Amino acid sequence: MRGEKPKVITINPSALSQAMDYKPIERFARAIPGSAKQRIEKNVIFSILQNQMLITFDFGDASLCHEILHFVQKSPIDYKCNPTPSISVKINSLIEQKITTIHRQRKPSKWRCASCSRKLLPLMMLAIAMLALITGCGTIPLPATSESWGNEQTARDLFADGRLQEAAEQYLHLASQASPPRSYDYRLTAIKIHLDAQNIDTAKALLAKINPTRLTSGQQARRHLLKARIALAKQNPQSALTRLRKIHFRHCGHENVPLSASKPCDSELPKSFRIKFLRIRALAHSALGGEHILEAAKDRIALDMLLTKTAEIKANHQATWQLLISLPSPTPPSTDTRPSAPPTSRTGILQGWLTLADIVKQYLSNETGPYHETFSQALLSWQKQYQKHPAKRFLLKDLLATTKEKPPAHIALLLPLDGVFAGAGNAVRNGFLSAWFEGGSDSAQRPRITLRNTADANIQSVYNDVVSAGAKFIVGPLDKPSVAFLEELPNLPVPTLTLNHGKETPAQSHRNASGTLMLSKAFTQTPTDPRKTAAEAPLYRFTLSPESEARHIARRARYDGHARAAILTPQTPWGRRMEQTFISTWEQLGGAIVENRSFSTDLKEISRIVQQLLKTSDAMRHRQSIPKSSDTREHRSTDGNAIDCILMAAFPREARQLRPQIKFHHVGDTPMPIYATYHVFSGAINPLLDEDLDGIIFADMPWVLRRDPENQSTLRNLATSAWPESASKYSRFYALGIDAYRIIPYLKRLRSRNFPNFSGETGELSVDSQGNVNRQPVWAIIRRGKPVPDKNGAQYSQYQKGT
């Protein structure tokens, strides 16, 4: 019987009569709209955890979950919408004894619950009755019998097969059958598996049930580590570090096993625990950024001494390198003197990493260029100085290989210079040529540029012509159809940097099952075609697509802790694209869309639209002012509908009308947070007009935001004098042209992730394995009609780097 799956029986309708006498459940079941019943999955899960029973009903989406909860009246049963989405019915006040086993006789209508009070049997029938009312009388899985549960090996097998939810439940069952301290080992393992499955809220709830005073010292350490993981998943790295400091290690006198100089190891804590500890602490430090980056690198270096698998060592080296090349270089690297510490000591290894990073940052800077002949000499000198350094194993080989590459001697620029896209195309051309002129007066050192107009042209003919003419690198095209054509080609003859995506697809999600946001590098990546890999096609994509901007905004708002958003977009095809991107990204991040409104170009409609948008939020806030002695059932039913932020896509003219109306109609002590795409800002400083935009948070590029005298470069002066329209109306495309030229020598290096991010005019640029140039923008907030740096935005940017 062990390992047997839960059996299925058919509900006997005659057995429901007693169940239907329980009014709260009857009222709940009958209140569900008929249309909703057809959308509910026929699934019921019983989870028996200590002194409570959770009955979970799975639904198709979060909006349906909240719709059903709207009909629930006050009762002894707690209803909660999970981000799964599902409804959990928590029944604890009516249970007098812990459920230990559930037995079922052969006849479906006769089953009993051992060790239950007389109240519990009708209650469990009520749960089945409620499901029967929702889904109709059908087959329903009952809880497994005690014989169906496997042993510890079963739990291990489930985990090895990737069936994490089942493995966690198996370990919880084992915990219920074992005695302390073994039972706590099982329970902590179950919690760890829930974290692996990204069920953060479930893990947090289970961990809260454990009495820490009954744990051994080793179990206490595991508990602190799990709490640190939860804090990190909840975007609270400082709390994670605080929790990690509670883990005390005794000195073992062995330098190759230490976690830090003061707390090396503990005989009770296995090597695997120390590895996890260092990884989590490194992540927490890197997420905090700033001075913590160096601490994260130290943890990575200590971790390297514990790892044995080649893949793990290589990945850890890559993580260490990414941390160190993100640090500012205080002084030029010096390879002429010996390090103060032995090269093989921990301090010496750290100094070797730092020195190598400084070499790369100096010789691959914008000023000297990546092909400086002394770069190879500097790398070889470093190799002699640090002959046994771990970076020699993987990284140094890749760095030396790049010194043999040469820049392209002939670049073709394919752009639409007339027609619908003429303004953007000409601005990109002007920015590209400005950067080319900036390269110096020696024409022999600059590549030859061939410019071709793609407006109303056959992209296949144009592309083949420039390749036949000897182009070694191609920049463009700009329009989606042309880019789509190139993306469909199995191979390209020369490396190509397109300035758009052929097809937009939803960004990948890192939301876990509990809805917790898991920010990482993947969130900065643009959609890719999985068929194109770095080895198959030299295709790169660099775009300023509006959808990418919408994703930036949604991720930032979610990072700031908002979960219930309202969307404002124009009634245009462009607006609908932005709306869909907002919705898909926000829901993938675990947020809920409470209101979604679109506005026309008729500004008279703005007030009405904003009133409709905020009515739910305002009503909610009004109910919050009701005295506690009042009947709060109505308030209770709309808790999930309070708007806590607005995601907006609008141009300056409409935004200047929307923001004052939002401020006027919003009810609350604090302003409604508004996150908008960069389209909200014209690019020109105009406090008199933009005063109405005060408080709006948006992301833009350094070229647009950094206009102070210190940043008045030759390029900016050239743009203003030679191409005034490009410098004003199409300033962002002008900056795209600048970066499209400057980044060419760095593309392959950035794709290898062995080099620092490229600091461009459009933002901080990186390249993923699919060849997408990912842009990290600068965050700003409007104050007194002017965009000023947003401090929280800077922290968010650093968080993205760290994760």
Q: What is the mean pLDDT of residues 85-104?
A: 34
Q: What is the mean pLDDT of residues 67-87?
A: 43
DSSP letter, residue 496: E
Residue 485 lies in a domain: yes
Same domain, 456 and 362: no
Domain boundary among 117, 148, 179: 148
Structure tokens at 48: 């028996």
- Secondary structure element (H or E) that encloses residue 11, with its range: none
Residue 15 lies in a domain: yes
pLDDT grade, residue 576 (50/70/90)?
very high
Residue 670 has a pLDDT of 84
Q: Is the model's pLDDT at 405 over the cut of 80?
A: no
Residue 333 lies in a domain: no
Domain holding 655, by residue range, is 547-708+777-802
Same domain, 669 and 796: yes
Residue 509 lies in a domain: yes
Q: 54-63, 479-488, 754-763 — which one is most confidently predicted on average? A: 479-488
Residue 801 has a pLDDT of 62
Residue 334 lies in a domain: no
Same domain, 698 and 562: yes
Residue 361 has a pLDDT of 81
Q: Is the model's pLDDT at 465 over the cut of 70?
A: yes
Same domain, 56 and 201: no
Same domain, 685 and 725: no
Same domain, 672 and 746: no
Could you tell me which residues come within 8 angstroms of residue 719 by beta carbon, excluding any fewer than 6 positions away? Answer: 430, 431, 434, 726, 727, 731, 734
Q: Is the model's pLDDT at 209 over the cut of 60?
A: yes
The answer to whether the Cα torsion of 185, 190, 193, 194 is positive or negative is negative
Domain boundary among 402, 423, 440: 402
Q: What is the mean pLDDT of residues 59-64?
A: 46
Residue 53 lies in a domain: yes
In tens, the pLDDT along 470-480 reads 999 999 999 99
Q: What is the mean pLDDT of residues 378-393?
A: 91
Structure tokens at 582: 């907002």
Q: What SS3 state is found at 712?
A: coil
Max CA distance (Å), the chain:
94
In angstroms, rounded to a whole number, what is the distance separating the alpha carbons of residues 51 and 93?
A: 9
pLDDT grade, residue 462 (50/70/90)?
very high
Q: Is the model's pLDDT at 62 over the cut of 90?
A: no
From 46-60, 387-401, 560-574, the region with the lowest mean pLDDT: 46-60
In angstroms, rounded to a whole number, what is the distance separating the alpha carbons of residues 385 and 362?
A: 18
CATH of the domain at 268: 1.25.40.10
Q: Is the model's pLDDT at 786 over the cut of 80?
A: yes
User: How far, in Å, are 238, 756, 770, 782 from residue 286 at the CA level?
Assistant: 11, 16, 25, 29
pLDDT grade, residue 659 (50/70/90)?
very high
In angstroms, rounded to a whole number, what is the distance separating the alpha carbons of residues 204 and 153?
A: 25
Residue 326 has a pLDDT of 81
**Which residue in the block uniquely carries the two structure tokens 């390090």?**
339
Same domain, 521 and 583: no
Q: What is the mean pLDDT of residues 702-716?
A: 72
Q: Is the model's pLDDT at 658 over the cut of 60?
A: yes
In tens, the pLDDT along 506-522 reads 333 333 333 333 333 32
In angstroms, rounded to a whole number, what is the distance separating the alpha carbons of residues 618 and 286?
A: 39
- Secondary structure element (H or E) that encloses residue 775, with its range: strand 773-776
* % of the chain residues with pLDDT over 70: 66
pLDDT grade, residue 184 (50/70/90)?
very high
Find out whether 178 and 491 touch, Cβ atoms under 8 Å. Answer: no
Find out whether 588 and 509 touch, Cβ atoms under 8 Å. Answer: yes
CATH of the domain at 524: 3.40.50.2300
Residue 24 has a pLDDT of 40
Residue 600 has a pLDDT of 85
Q: Work out the mean pLDDT of the chain and round it to a whole number.
A: 74
603-608-609 Cα angle (round to 5)? 80
Residue 159 lies in a domain: no
Rg, Å, the chain Cα set: 30
In tens, the pLDDT along 280-297 reads 999 999 888 888 999 999
Domain boundary among 148, 183, 213: 148
Same domain, 231 and 280: yes
Higher-pLDDT residue of 289 and 150 is 289
Q: What is the mean pLDDT of residues 313-325?
A: 90
Residue 329 lies in a domain: no
pLDDT grade, residue 363 (50/70/90)?
confident
Same domain, 192 and 312: yes
Same domain, 558 and 534: no
DSSP letter, residue 684: S
Same domain, 383 and 416: no
Q: What is the 3-state secondary structure (H, E, C) of 592-658?
A: EEEEEEEECCCHHHHHHHHHHHHHHHHHHHHHHCCCCCCCCHHHHHCHHHCCCEEEECCCHHHHHHH
In angstroms, rounded to a whole number, what is the distance separating the alpha carbons of residues 458 and 401?
A: 38
Q: What is the mean pLDDT of residues 721-734?
A: 83
Same domain, 607 and 745: no
Could you tell me which residues come within 8 angstroms of residue 594 by beta carbon, excluding any fewer than 6 positions away? Answer: 564, 565, 566, 616, 617, 640, 641, 642, 643
Q: How many structural domains compose the chain?
A: 5
From 164-173, 242-251, 773-782, the region with the lowest mean pLDDT: 242-251
Q: What is the mean pLDDT of residues 689-710?
A: 87
- Looking at this protein, which amino acid is placed at residue 132? A
**Which residue in the block uniquely carries the two structure tokens 């990945």?**
315
Q: Is the model's pLDDT at 29 over the cut of 60?
A: no
Residue 368 has a pLDDT of 52
Find out whether 47 and 53 touch, Cβ atoms under 8 Å. Answer: yes
Residue 143 has a pLDDT of 36
